[in-house]
Every structure is written in structure tokens, then in C-alpha cells.
Amino acid sequence: MNASMNSPENMDLLFSIHGVTDLKKLEACQLPTLAKQMREYLITTLAPIGGHLGAGLGVVELSIALHYIYNSPDDKIIWDVGHQAYPHKMLTGRLEAMPTMRQYGGLNGFTKRKESEHDAFGAGHASTSISAAYGFAVGRDLQKQNHHSIAIIGDGSLGGGMAFEALNHAGANNNNLLVILNDNEMSIAPNVGAMSSYLARLITGKPYTQAKDLAKNILNKLPGAFDVAKRVEEHVKGMITPGTLFEEIGFRYIGPVDGHNFDHLLATLENCKDLQGPVLLHVLTKKGLGFSPAEEDPETWHGLGPYCLESGSPIKNPSAPDSYTNVFANTLADLAEVDDKIVAITAAMPGGTGLSRFAKRFPDRCIDVGIAEQHALTFAGGLACAGMKPIVAIYSTFLQRAYDQIIHDICIQNLHVIMCLDRAGIVGADGATHTGMFDIAFLRCLPNMTIMCPKDEIELSHMLKTALDIQGPVAIRYPRGSGLGLPAETYASLPLGQAEVLETGSEGLIVSVGTRFEDAKLAQQTLKDADKLELGLINLRFVKPLDVETIVSQLVVGKPLVVVEEGVSQGGIGEKIAMKAYQSGWSGEFVHIAMPDAFPEHGTQEEILRDLRMDAAGIVAQVRGVLKS
């Protein structure tokens, strides 16, 4: 451990920074001290609340250098994903609010335009920064404005197809744009030192660029001479820099630069301000720098809950039931033991989706495609055509990025691809960008699709077995967090499309979708005990195919029909259930407990569910409100 508790009194330099104006007043020799204090404050502040620690620690010097050289908010600084923007927030007037990070009513864990004028573009998903920054650049030029547009993108995000689409577009034009490749795995250039940093400063310097432009003008007048000279230059640069790819698509490549060395960063960024056209600056950083546990295990410390400063270990509740993620992973591994056609696919989230443990047991059958959700789904389609049984483990919010592939490559061909949607519904601290609120609405309209929602861990295991035994595309959605402590010992297929009637009632019906079941059940019992209201209770299990017959059989004419689902109300399954109920001749009050037509704020899952009146108390209140009206 190399961090200790610090009070603001021990961080006088850091707490003198109330915004970028204060930062610019510092001497360059003071910046290493500022970086040290920022790291220590970030480590101690996040310990009791958690957050994206490793990514932020890796870009402290880069964040300082950017705000020291450029003039935000006039200059547009755009962070890809946004999880590494904690230092950026500290420098732009939000330092004292850092203890509220990802807390209810506090700072957002990503960049958010409503939060600060320095957050030029909202983020949460990867590979978007270059497109957005180039949009700013073109908009600037069309309006004849004068400011800089800068995208900071990690080497992982650069693997996303959208990033390459943006590079291809920007490189074909001459708008001024700076793309900073934050390479924290040394995946492109493992060598960094005095010579490479010297070359970076040399290549960005005015003498070099002026000489190059002069030579270009002269050679353009000599037939064939420029092409020859260009090939020679590329050959020589390719020997000393890894930027040939970027040069080929139209970017001037600079680097690699040590991202923790202010002498190198400041001089190079200052030179980049004067360069014309699209520029890619390659910066090498170390994720988690300054906190040894995060340096040694960057995947675990990418984003996590509270942790112990003294031991360097995440704080876990030993009595908490296993998470739905772990139940899925364990079930999948057990099923793969007896079925060698099962292949698990992740899009750069092996830890988050639980597939890290699957990979240890079946390394040849666990495939990480990187941040490339579109490729993941079509790749799964190809595997299905080849006779395998692909399981795509993906967060619900990230499945949105592959919607065309689900329709065109999987559903039209009726391929047996199984999509296991983690973090479906309210996710809590990560907020709107990560909330899995749309999957039911955008999947249930697709032909050939089967959609299942378990009420608990046992059903999740059974549904995974069911998905393997049926044909065609299948989606299983389950929430973030712990289950009920009910792991299945055996796995059995469920009757396709059959709902489960838990109780009958003479005064109405509650239809529960997925893990909202426990709150729906508690609400039903409360209404029974306190209001003497006998409501039936159905666990829907299958969103598609929908068990209309069972639902209609439990309806009571003139009495309320309540549908509880953790997804958007518009396009949700509640609309379909209500339509079928009215078509059957039922009449009565329809109560749809679902997410409104708005994006949720961040906070704990319990806080958001309470605000949306989707917890047990909210369900009771909404039913009572209908009965009184």
C-alpha cells in the first residue's frame, strides 16, 4: 500500500484548485505535487463509496496537462466512456463534491453535460469520443469558430468499430482534431523512454513541421518526387514509431509519450496545439498507478464497491447471497461440462458477466471479442450456423449497440443464439447510461424471439437449460446484485411459454415480470392483510411467447389488473397484457408498475425503485390510489 488517509490540510495545493483558472496559475514544477495529492485524495475518498478507481488513477497527469495547456470549456475535452474522468472533475470545480460520487443526488460516475460546462459530451458507453469530437470540430469550422477539439480514448475502446469509423472519416478530411490514445496496456508500443519521448517532441516541434511542409511544397512541383519521398518517410517512421496505421488513414501520428512525465506531456501538448489537420497522440499510462492493488489487478479495480485502505481488499458482505451473475456463470459452467457445443462470448466484460470463472474451466470455449458488441452477435450467429450453441453474456445496456445484428443476422435466419442480459432493469450507481430499461420493449417485437425473465436464481438456472433445449434466438434477462440465496441443485427445462399461477384471487390480479416478484408478492400480502383485498398472483416467466390463456383465466371483471415489470412502460409487456385482457372482455382498472418515459438518475437500486414507486410500498400505494379514484 502506498496511500494513507489525508485531510484537506495535508493537501493545500490540491484544495487551492477551485477550477481550471487556479490550475493555470501554478508553476509547472508544482504539477507533480498536485498529481500526488490528487491520487491520494482519490484513493481515500473512494474507499468508503467505491467507483471507477483504476481508470482515474491512470490519467491524473494527463488530466492535469490537458487542463493546463488547453482552455476548457472553450476547448472541448471529450473523455471516452467517461469512467476515467474523476481527475477531470476534480480540476473543474467539483473537488469538494467528490465524496458524493455515484451517490443519490451526487456527482455522476461519468461525464454529464447537465453537471458541468466542462463535460462537453455525455458518455457511458465506449468508442464514442472520436465521433463526438469530430462533430465538434466540423461544427466549429462551419461556424468559423476558433477552439480545439480533443478526444481521449483508451486502447480498449479503440478496438470498437465505431472508433475506427470515426478515424476513417476524420482522417479523410483536414479539420483540426486531436485524438489522444490513452494506452494503459502497452498494446501498441511496449517501448518508452528518453529516445521515443524525444522523438515525439521533435516530430511535433515547429522546426520539424515547417521543414516538412516546405519540402512538401517543393516536391509537389516535381513529378513523382513527392510520392517517393512520402514512401521513404513512412518507411523510416515505421521503423521508429508504431503509427503507420494512423498515418495511412490520414492522421499525423505522435508518440509514444510517457503519460506520467509532465516534461514530455506539456511540451508535446503545447506543440500539438499548432498542428494542422487530424493528429493522433499516443500516450502510455499505467492503470491504477499509485495504489498497488489496482496496479496489480486492474480488472478487479476497474470499478468496484467500498474497499479497505489498509488491506487493499474490496469490502464484501460474507453473508450476502450469491449474485445473479455468479449463479448464471456457475450454471453455464455445469451445463458446459456435459455439452461440448456450448461456447461463451463476452464483449470485453469477462469479469462483469461472470465469464472469468468459465474461462478457467473452458479456455477454448470462452471468447472475448473486445468492445465490439455488433461483431459479438454476428460472430455468435456464425457459430450457431456451424453447429455450436453460443451464449452471449452481455449487459442489457450494451445489447442496444447490436440491435441491427439481432434483427438482420440472427432473428431473420432464426439462429439459435442465446443472449444472457445481465444488469437488466435498474442498475443503481452507474445511472442512466447503464440502466437496462429497454430490452423487453425492443426484443419482444422481433419475430422468432423467445424472452424469459426469472423470478429468482432457481428459475435463472432452469431458464438457461430451457434456452439450450429450444431453437431460435433466446434472451434471458436478470438484474444486478444478489439473489435470494436459492441456488438450483439440478437444472430442468420449463414448459415453453407457460406462466406460473402462485395464488388466485377474487378481487383482481397481479402479474409479476422477473425479479420484481418479491416486491409484488409482498405488496399482494400487504393489501390482503391491511385492506382485505384478495388479489391473485402470477409469475409470468415468459415475456414471449406470452401465456395469454393463463392470464385471461385469472382476470376478474370489474377488478384491477396490475402488471409489474422493471423496464419501460412504453413498449413494455404490460401494454400487450392489457390489450389482450380488454380483447377477452375484461373491464376494470389497469395498473402498470413500470419505468416512466424518462431516464433515471443514479443512486442505489433501492433508492431509484422507491422514487419510481416500483418497490412493495410503491405498488401498494398505486393500487390503493386506483381503488380510491
Catalytic positions, please?
A: 287, 373, 401
Please report, for the chain, how many H helices and E strands are present, in that order.
25, 17
Closest by CA position to 83, among listed 153, 188, 177, 9:
153
Distance of alpha carbon 227 from the chain centroid: 44
Burial, 529: exposed, middle or buried (Cβ in 10 Å; 0-12, 13-18, 19+)?
Answer: exposed
Q: Of all helices (H) and strands (E), which one includes residue 575?
A: helix 573-583
User: What is the end-to-end Cα distance of the chain in Å, rounded?
Assistant: 61
Name the one residue in this structure whose C-alpha cell is 467528490. 98
Is 304 in a helix, a strand, or coil?
A: strand
Measured in residues, the chain has a length of 629
Which residues fall within 8 angstroms of residue 44, CB to CB, at 6 or more apart? 3, 4, 5, 6, 309
Report CA torsion sign: 439, 440, 446, 450. Answer: positive
Crossing angle between the packed helical segments 206-220 and 194-204, to the nearest 10 degrees: 60
Strand-pairing partners, residue 509, are: 536, 561
How is the beta sheet containing 536-539 ordered, strand by strand?
500-503, 536-539, 509-512, 561-568, 590-595
In eight-state DSSP terms, residue 321 is: P
Query: Is residue 252 within 8 Å of residue 260, measured between CB atoms?
Result: no
Is 112 in a helix, a strand, or coil?
A: coil
Could you give the angle at the alpha carbon of 43 between the alpha carbons of 18 and 68, nearest 5°? 35
Which residues fall within 8 angstroms of residue 90, CB to CB, at 6 or more apart? 14, 17, 38, 41, 42, 98
Query: Is residue 477 within 8 Å of residue 424, measured between CB atoms?
Result: yes
Distance of alpha carbon 602 from the chain centroid: 14
CA–CA distance, 436 with 428 (Å, rounded to integer): 11
* Cell reading at 84: 476515467
Name the one residue in this structure whose C-alpha cell is 443526488. 105
Query: Is residue 67 within 8 Å of residue 90, measured between CB atoms?
Result: no
